[in-house]
Structure 1
């Protein structure tokens, strides 16, 4: 049988149930993949809570790395025994799965499955932030709200390597200390005078804000961005922001967001190669992954909710 994590209703991490499923043969254009590692992403918790409704029952997770066990009709360029990965293909919290071959990308031999699961989707999101949602230019001033988040950390470091001046915010002293040597300035995300601190660091306003926190930091974000600047909303850990749309329009602030997939169209090979090269070049710093067994997926979600873990979380079947 095939151990699978499924939720039949929306709710807390406890709605994640361990079940045993049969696994069939791949249909046309599909492969059967045996997972070696499964990436856990914040968006998984939003699907579980129903913030992004999905058909129920549902298997959470959008990325994984595994070994091809069988090929369906019409699949070309893939071999049984090959190790491949995927991102943004829902249904990953399972030992084995059937998946359309078009979702799969090659995995470098020098990187472990656990490492790939820790950085691929998060790295691609960071890449999209710097090359899609906004075209980052050297010399621009960047604010990353939530720079200690798994994606925010990669994006902040990558932006610095691209020649930007980077200001990041993080919640705890430990998280701020981990970022201090990687970017130009690190501020407490919950500081009562955050907007004033940002004004002192960037009196003319920042060119772009990457917003991973949402409601709790958005007032400071609006105060920090220059007129004509850009706010990229990639996450909203504290909830959807509330703001004066007329004021944003008056200041000609460009607000962008939505799924990253549209920014990868036609550029997947370029983006994945850039992510792996950035990791190899040390741009991401020390990438650490907290390991859970697949059956402990509910605990992984609980730890995300309780902000008990920093860095990437990975499920091992």
Structure 2
């Protein structure tokens, strides 16, 4: 028998219940994993609460790392004993699982399983931002709204390492986390945000990475230069109100980006390689993990949503 955290209804963290199950054998293009660490992400809570639809009963969680214990007939490139991690494959809150090979990436020997589980989803999303949506180059002016979050803080550090001038906006209680990583650090929960951004970036920024949404979007529009770009990657405060006529008049590019829908196959392998390279080179700084037992997934959700912990909780089976 193998432990699994399953939800049979949506709701608060108490719906996450530890159960036992028999995990069978993998299908043709699948492998069986013994999971060593499981990442906890905001999207997990969206599934749990019912904000995102899921067919019940449901096992939430989209990333983990572990070891392959059995393979199907068509799993070229993956073998028993391989250390792997995966990105956006729902069903992660389990001791063992069956999974298709498509979302799997090989885990380098020097990358611990726990680091992989806490970093891959956020790192791949940051990679999409700085390498694909707008390929950051030296001299770019970048605004990151939601810079103290898990992805936002990685974007700040990566953009700075690529030579950009970075304006980082985040919660005042967490600004110390990124105070040494950006050129300008501003509190989002103080008055006149747009004016304070303009004071440090009077020419406007070239690109905005928007992780907050409704609460900060107006300030983003006011401070991106004509012809610049805003990428909405998250919407923690709700969907922004968009004035299409104003955007067209100023030639602003505004688009929503989803790593889950974009980063696949060869692109995923490339993204994972670059993410692990950045971690190895110290660009991301220390990845501080908050460890919970798999059985305590509900508590991990409660602490994470209440912001009692940092942005990198993991479950350890």
Q: Give the shorter-chain TM-score range.
A: over 0.9
Whole-Å separation in 2 of the counterparts to 1:276 and 1:77:
20
Q: Provide the rounded CA distance (Å) in 2 between the counterparts of 1:117 and 1:108.
A: 13
Q: TM-score, normalised by structure 2?
A: 0.96
Q: State the match for 2:115 in structure 1.
A: 115
When the two chains are superposed, the root-mean-square deviation of aligned CA atoms in Å is: 1.4
> 1:246: how far off?
2.4
Question: What is the DSSP-based 3-state SS (H/G/I as helix, E as strand, rest coil) of the residue aligned with 1:116?
Answer: helix
> Any runs of at least 4 consecutive aligned residues in structure 1 with deviations exceeding 3 A, and if so which?
none
1:246-270 C-alpha deviation (Å, 9 max, x unpaired):
2222222111223214543432232
Query: 2:214–2:235: 8 Å Cα contact kept in structure 1?
Result: yes
Structure 1: tracts of 5 or more residues without a match: none
> Following TM superposition, by how much is the alpha carbon of 1:168 offset from its aligned partner in structure 2, in angstroms?
0.6
Q: Secondary structure at the match of 1:84?
A: strand
- Within 2, Cα distance between the matches of 1:256 and 1:242? 13
TM-score by length of 1: 0.96
The answer for the alignment partner of 2:225 in structure 1 is 226
Deviation at 1:108, TM superposition (A): 0.8
**Residues 45-194 of structure 1 correspond to what in structure 2 (within 5 A)?**
45-173=45-173, 175-194=174-193
1:4-52 deviations in whole A, cap 9, x for unaligned? 1122222222222222121111111111001000011111111222222
Distance in 2, Cα, partners of 1:292 & 1:247: 47
The answer to whether the Cα contact below 8 Å between 2:206 and 2:228 also exists between their aligned partners in 1 is: yes
Give 1:121 shift.
Answer: 1.3
Give aligned pairs, total: 316
1:277 Cα deviation after fit? 0.8
CA–CA distance in structure 1, aligned partners of residues 244 and 304 of structure 2: 31
Residue number in structure 2 paired with 1:294 = 294
Q: Which moved more, 1:65-74 or 1:152-161?
A: 65-74
2:279 is paired with a residue whose SS is helix
SS at match of 2:125: helix
Query: SS where residue 144 of structure 1 aligns?
Result: strand
